[in-house]
Amino acid sequence: MILKRIKATAAKNTGKLFKSTAPVPSIEKPFPASRSYWHRGIECENWVAESYARQGFEPLGHRLKTPFGELDLLMRSPDGTLTGFEVKTKTADLADRISRRQLKKLERIFTWMLQQNENSQFLVCFVAGPEDILVLALAEISY
């Protein structure tokens, strides 16, 4: 008799783990390693901002959304030039840090910046540490 009760109350096997297939909200990121990359990126952006602030640049924005992608830093130089920054962590091979697709995106962001303000420049910074920052103009990067 006990077996009949268990059998009668057993759920029908539908092949699904849960009745609902709707995604369950999570408070954690799916890949913990990606979080450390995010923190490393913020740290490098702060190093670049601090380095240029010491040279007299005025910070205007951080991680700004443009119609063509995100701009890591926006600062105004002492002479009034609007300067956009793309910040990358520095590795052994700099060519691996920016793909062709990313380069095209950066060119579109820079073109948009020039349309907003003709007195603009766009710099790409490769950062290994607070005192180890390699700065290139966007035009210096090619494939």
pLDDT, one tens digit per residue, over 62-113 is 999 999 999 999 999 999 999 999 998 876 666 667 788 888 998 999 999 8
Q: Give the whole-angstrom CA distance, residue 23 versus residue 141.
A: 42
Task: Give the pLDDT confidence score for residue 140 in this predicted structure.
Answer: 66
> Where do runs of H (alpha helix) occur along the chain?
2-9, 32-54, 100-116
Regarding pTM above 0.85, the answer is no
Task: Give the pLDDT confidence score for residue 141 in this predicted structure.
Answer: 65
Fold for the domain defined by 31-140: Trna Endonuclease; Chain: A, domain 1 (3.40.1350)
Q: Give the whole-angstrom CA distance, residue 84 versus residue 74.
A: 5
Q: How many CB atoms are closer than 10 A to CB 114?
A: 15
Under a CB-based contact definition with an 8 Å cutoff, are residues 106 and 66 in contact?
A: no
Which residues fall within 8 angstroms of residue 81, CB to CB, at 6 or more apart? 119, 120, 121
Task: Give the pLDDT confidence score for residue 56 in this predicted structure.
Answer: 96
**37-60 pLDDT, tens digit each:** 788 888 999 999 999 999 999 999
Task: Give the pLDDT confidence score for residue 55 in this predicted structure.
Answer: 95
**12-40 pLDDT, tens digit each:** 554 443 344 444 444 444 444 555 778 88
Q: Which residue has the tokens 């709707």?
A: 22
Task: Give the pLDDT confidence score for residue 103 in this predicted structure.
Answer: 86
- Which amino acid type is present at position 111? T
Task: Give the pLDDT confidence score for residue 57 in this predicted structure.
Answer: 96
